[in-house]
Amino acid sequence: MYYVKKRLEISAAHRLTLSYESKCTRLHGHNWIVTVECKAKELNADGMVTDFTHIKQLVQEQLDHSVLNDVLPFNPTAERIARWIVDNVPNCFRCEVQESEGNSATYEKD
């Protein structure tokens, strides 16, 4: 099995829709650290699991310097962002989304 890992830094804002009172319901920003992990049993015709540039295009170029509520079709919690990345990056099986030091969420395919 081959594995690749891409770490991205994304500056973006969001506001959460929550069932309780929270300052996170107001628009606020983070300097997100996103770690995308991909795997494949066989390399593609170019000798790669997934091109690092393609990961950057699919994730950073869509999310960086944006209001995530305007870009993503769901309440943009770190957990849901991680799931969206796994679902949209070829061969991705795991993603960690860190919104601040000490606060991160991970989604991994079964």
Strand partners, 95: 36, 107
Contact indicator for 85, 60 with CB cutoff of 8 Å: no
CATH, range 2-108: 3.30.479.10
Distance CA 103, CA 33 (A): 10
Q: Where are the beta strands (DSSP E) in 15-85?
A: 28-40, 66-67
Q: For residue 50, what pLDDT is reported?
A: 97
The per-residue pLDDT for 76 is 98
Q: Which residue has the tokens 């973006």?
A: 12
Tell me the mean pLDDT in the region 79-97.
Answer: 98
pLDDT at 2 > cutoff 90: yes
DSSP element (H, E) containing 63: helix 60-63
Average model confidence (pLDDT) for the chain? 97
> What is the pLDDT at residue 52?
97
Confidence at residue 42, expressed as pLDDT on a 0 to 100 scale? 97
Residue 106 to residues 78, 83, 96, Cα–Cα distance (Å): 8, 8, 4
For residue 46, the tally of other CB atoms under 10 A from its CB is 6
What would the pLDDT profile of 15-65 be if each residue is shown by its tens digit? Answer: 999 999 999 999 999 999 999 999 999 999 999 999 999 999 999 999 999
Report the predicted TM-score, pTM, of the whole model to 2 decimal places: 0.95
Cβ–Cβ under 8 Å, residues 62 and 10: no
Q: Where are the domains of the chain?
A: 2-108
Q: Is the pLDDT of residue 110 over 90?
A: no
